Structure 1
Amino acid sequence: RWSLNGTLIDLGSDYRRHMSGGSLIIRNLDKDQDSGMYQCTAFNTLGSILSRRASIHFAYLDSFKTQSVRSAVNVREGQGVVLLCGAPPHSGELIFAWIFNEYPYSVQQDSRRFISQETGSLYIAKVEPSDVGNYTCVVNNTVTKQKVLSSPTPLVLRSDVEIHCGSLTIMIPLFYRLASTMRPCLIGNMSWNSVPAAKESVVKLECFALGNPVPEISWRRPSGVPFPSKVKMKNSNAVLEIPNFQQEDAGMYECIAENRRGKNAARGRISYHAKPQWLQTITDTARSIEENLFWECKANGKPKPSYSWLKNGEQMVAEVMARVEIENGALSITALNLSDSGMYQCVAENKHGSVYSSAQLMVLASAPSFSRSPLKALLKARSGSEVTLECKPQASPPAISLWKKGNEILLRTERITLLPNGTLKIANVTKQDAASYTCIAKNQFGTASTTGKLLITEPTRITMRPTNMEIIVGESIVLPCQIASDPALDVSFSWAFNGQLIDFQRDDTVSGDLMIRNIQLSHGGKYVCVVDTDVESLSTSAILVVKGSPWWMSPESNFCQLQLISCPPGPPDKVSVEEITDSTAQLSWTPGRDNGSPITGYIVQARTPFTVGWQVIDTAVPEVVNGNMLTATVVGLNAWVEYEFRVVAQNVVGLGEPSPASAKTRTEDA
């Protein structure tokens, strides 16, 4: 719907106005009926918002008052003169021109003659005999294209000399006439002592001077900052034009008029103005009933914008709304109720324009519901672990929650924690914690509950693990991986080789053994068995070293050295511990032979008095040791334990022989 000057437009009874979509179309515009301020309101069942305001003004241009020929203007040759136009009543931009004697002879502007487009006045810096005649002011309305003419103003020469500048008038005898001169006298539209200019507008400053000889006009900025290339000088420098005005164009400007008798200057300031622009706006918000709302909007602009707030298109006044506070761009509403729902607008406004920010406030009121977040019907947990049960009902206002174990209300204990958000935590669970658990949520609109069963299972154990092995090409092997687990658990097995999951192209089974037939050199590496259950994940690993046939792998054959065949790399050497802490060790080594195929990586192994044989250990820097690295930092060591380290090299053929062990080194105490 549309309003004009605050009154709703009744489209049903107005044949000239109709709407197309949201647009208002007006036919046969009428100055009396259609002038004013328009505003559009958009609304639906959730509320209303207002558009920014727009106005329609009708341009017009009245005729000059009927009168006889204007009084003659007497002036002496060599002196300056101003002929006033005095525009009639009008609306809309005007353009001024002057006719000399009769149409179509118009006054041409030059350094001696200037027509102000601010006042319409004609300025002649130094009158010459050829200037004598009748002058008619022509006023054009750029919107209506109307043109009106004033009565002629005769310009005649006097026999004595009158020097006039401002309020000073000096009469000079006639015999001085031909030799008389005058320093520049600045006149014209010098009302730009302080000019407000809007951002991106076109700013025009006018400056003209009377004088003999004809003064020259120039412009400068007292600050010394040069004019940018966009600044234009027009009409013999009488007009300075600044298109697309920006903040950096603001400041002092000085006009200088100069001839050989002297010079005169005038200066004024252009101040930067801009309509508001948003720095912070409001966004759609949902709040529970009885909660508080705080919205803030911020805008810049010059002059500094003022703020107002609308709800569903109506002005909000804090004084008549006890729960509402409005301070500049901030809106606060305490203890929201359902009637506060609707469309809100923050309006920032100064004399150059206004901006609107709109948002919907939804005040929610509903009984608790677990439809989107019920407890799992069956939750399994390993004995000794910590269990977390989340109670997340949808409710407005937020619901108060309590827990039941079976039919008994659950209370806090050393192992049981009830968090303010409704979450239940049980530490170090045992078989006695197995039960049905119910979360009950309640607010003033109703109650809801959700129930789940907690099942406590025994920890899963790996009963048979794969071990590090050495095997000859062509043989077959089974890497065992067997477990003992709670019968209530679902168990799956998977294997990884050198960090990549093995795709068996079949479903996982409860049997975790891995069989490898007809082993090749490329099968050498690290194998990891991963056991996944409903409640935990376990893994165990082993290194498989694949060797070629003894006859060509023997040192006497020298096949690898002669590069007749590629072999696994030779053993690294000189493994040493450069630095050791309570849990890490910095190792270095020298490479062995690559045996015809570049070394692609190294595996670090360790041994202690408490381990059975050599075990692969993790490295952190780098996490994967490539063939170009000869140092690594091992992690996960135990404090105050004596360690030996060795390194195994690998290439595309397989893993080579391990290096000799490093010297025994004890980690630091913790």
Structure 2
Amino acid sequence: MQKGKSRHDLHLINFVLTFRYLIPSLDRSHAGFYRCIVRNRVGALMQRRTEVQVAYMANFENGEKHLSVSQGNAAVVKAPRISTFPRPQVTWFRDGRKISPSSRIAITMENTLVILSTVAPDTGRYYVQAVNDKNGENKTSQPITLTVESAPADPIAPIIIISPKNTSVVFGFPEVTLECVANARPLIKLSIVWKKDGVPLRSGFSDYHRKLTILNPKLHDAGYYECEAILRSSSVPSVNAGAFLSVLEPPQLILEPERHITVEIEKVVDIPCQARGVPLPVMYWYKDATLITRLNVPRYNVLSNGSLQINGLMPDDTGMFQCFARNDAGEVQTFTYLAVTSIPPNITKGPLDSTVIDGLSVILSCETSGAPRPAITWQRGEKVLASGSVQLPRFTLLESGSLLISPSHISDAGSYTCLATNSRGVDESSGDLIVWARTRITNPPQEQSVIKGTMAVLTCGLTHDPNVVIRHVWQKNGAVIDVDAIPRMRLDEAGTLYISQTWSGDIGIYTCKVLSVGGNDSRSAQVRVR
């Protein structure tokens, strides 16, 4: 149980088994706002606050007071100060007789006595009697002596003695009252007119138009209210005073979180909480009954729409989160339990058996799931090639977890293993990499000049991976030569082209093309016949 008073929180522990907080000897020090906080191993929740009010009544301030006023002016007699709760019922007396409101007597909502257009017989001793309806106590003040001094009986222009005050009322409250007390002479010709936003009002008046009461105030009743004091049948200008009436609407939740939210560790979560009201409610978030601003966790951010965003979830974020929407009309709350989970690593797409040509790049896949996000390590045999802290030349750990080898070498052939690790365990997957030697022409055809009728020999020797099938294609001036269709030409297993009984029609540029999955290569040479 917490008691909030001013800005201090006191922790109270006097519980009975029914979870009620008992105050055995109630006194004024116990007044304030209380909240019940419920805790268990899951977390903590706060109840909406409850106010404890303690009725009491002290004594009126001591000392007799004196007040003097010129005849015709208003006498404003304030009630002596008294410390009490709740606000007492106050009755004014003069020389032992009760004073009731009249066309010339006003008793304001603040219990101030206003005597309008005073005359000599108003001189006397005034006092108040206060009654506390809650505890039955009553107190009588010291007298206030009023003296009305003589003055010429000239007309007095209207003047507002008590002006309307800016007032707030909660939507749904039974009524709200504004007051305006004015004086003038002759008082009988004084009129008070009420307006809302400049438009005259026709009803709601009492106490000789000195009070305006709005029943069941609604949001559209908010506005600027003005009273105007007019001296009829006179050229004296009127006077006016005004105040704003605000109609407050308690907060109402329009978007709440689910009662249970489960999110993986290291993820980002938005816990929704939106409310409406007048004025617009301010959102306060609590974790296990502690205001999140006191936790000093930079990862907790209240968004502009009132929702709570938590970045990079950690296990300690697990708990009860409570959202309070508050404004001057009240508060409303909702809550959710956030569970931050961890999941063992799982390789969803492991490395496949792959083949690459020497000198080219290859990517071995390793895509994972898990919470927290698994750490990836690549190995060939016992040797670590790439990880979060290790990276050998030519081996790059990609953001996806895959391994890039660039460029590949013949020596890179072998079995590769991807290890995925987090706090919940390890998963692994392996694949074989085959690196083919690149097919290259190492004994290209040479330019030559042969005697007509002799043989021209164009070599096309090469190196290649023994597991790769090779195909030779010869071209003359860019056109493919169909060796089988020309009896004078022959192609041996090594790819050498033989041209017998050469003649002038054999002159040209001859190109040897080697085609294979281990790569392609080509070389050219010019042949002349003389």
Q: Distance in 1 between matches of 2:62 and 2:17?
A: 47
Residue aligning to 1:276 = 251
Q: Distance in 2 between matches of 1:82 and 1:67?
A: 18
CA deviation map 1:321-372 (0-9, x unaligned): 2543334523222333333221111222234433222011122335599xxx
- One-letter code aligned to 2:75: V
- In the TM superposition, residue 295 of structure 1 has moved relative to its aligned partner by 1.6
Hey, what does 1:332 align to over in structure 2?
309
Unmatched 5+ residue regions in structure 1? Answer: 12-17, 162-171, 370-393, 400-441, 449-670
Measured at CA, do residues 217 and 324 of structure 1 come closer, stay the same or move farther in structure 2, by a change above 3 Å?
A: closer
- The answer as to 2:40 corresponding to 1:44 is yes
| 1:339 counterpart SS class | helix
CA 1:23 to 1:182, structure 2 compared with 1: closer, same or farther past 3 Å? same
Alignment-mate amino acid for residue 86 of structure 2: G
User: What's 1:239 paired with?
Assistant: 211
Shift of 1:47: 1.4
Match of 2:99 in 1: 107
Q: Please list, as runs of the form range in 1=range in 2, the aligned pairs for 1:164-563 lying within 5 A after superposition.
A: 172=152, 177=153, 180-188=154-162, 190-192=163-165, 194-201=166-173, 202-214=175-187, 215-224=190-199, 226=201, 232-260=204-232, 261=234, 262=236, 263-283=238-258, 284-317=260-293, 320-328=296-304, 329-366=306-343, 445=424
Q: How has the CA–CA distance of structure 1 residues 237 and 94 changed in structure 2, closer, same or farther, with 3 Å as cutoff?
A: farther
Q: Distance in 1 between matches of 2:76 and 2:242?
A: 21
Matched pairs, number: 348
User: Per the alignment, in what secondary structure is the counterpart of residue 62 of structure 2?
Assistant: coil
- Aligned twin of 1:28: 25
Distance 2:148 2:338 in 1: 78
RMSD (Å) for aligned C-alpha atoms: 3.3
Change (3 A) 1:153 1:323: closer
Say which structure, 1 or 2, has more relative contact order (CA 8 Å, 6+ apart).
Answer: 2
Equivalent residue for 1:9? 12
CA deviation after TM superposition for structure 1 residue 311, in Å = 1.2
Structure-2 separation of matches of 1:322 and 1:133: 69
Mapping for residues 158-169 of structure 1, pairs under 5 Å: 158-159=149-150, 161=151
After superposition, the Cα gap between the structure-2 partners of 1:3 and 1:83, relative to the gap in structure 1 and judged at 3 Å, is: closer
The percentage of counterpart residues that share the same residue type is 24
TM-score by length of 1: 0.47
Tell me the SS of whatever aligns to 1:25: coil
* Structure 1 counterpart of 2:142, one-letter code: S
Would the alpha carbon gap of residues 100 and 331 (structure 1) be closer, same or farther in structure 2, given more than 3 Å must change?
same
Partner of 2:54: 58
Judged with a 3 Å threshold, the aligned counterparts in structure 2 of structure 1 residues 158 and 226 are, in CA distance, closer, same or farther, namely closer
Change (3 A) 1:233 1:443: farther
The answer as to whether partners of 2:59 and 2:139 remain within 8 angstroms in 1 is yes
Calculate the TM-score normalised by the size of structure 2. 0.58
Output the amino acid matched with 2:289: G
Q: Aligned partners of 2:43, 2:281: CA distance in 1, in Å?
A: 26
Conserved? CA contact 1:325–1:332, under 8 Å: yes
The alpha-carbon deviation at position 46 of structure 1 amounts to 1.6
Contact 1:93 1:143 in 2 (8 A): no
The alpha carbon displacement at 1:282 in A equals 2.0
The one-letter code of the counterpart of 1:89 is S
**Structure with greater proportional strand content:** 2
* Distance across 1 between alignment mates of 2:206 and 2:23: 41
* Separation in structure 2 between the aligned mates of residue 297 and residue 266 of structure 1, nearest angstrom: 42
Match of 1:86, SS state, is: coil
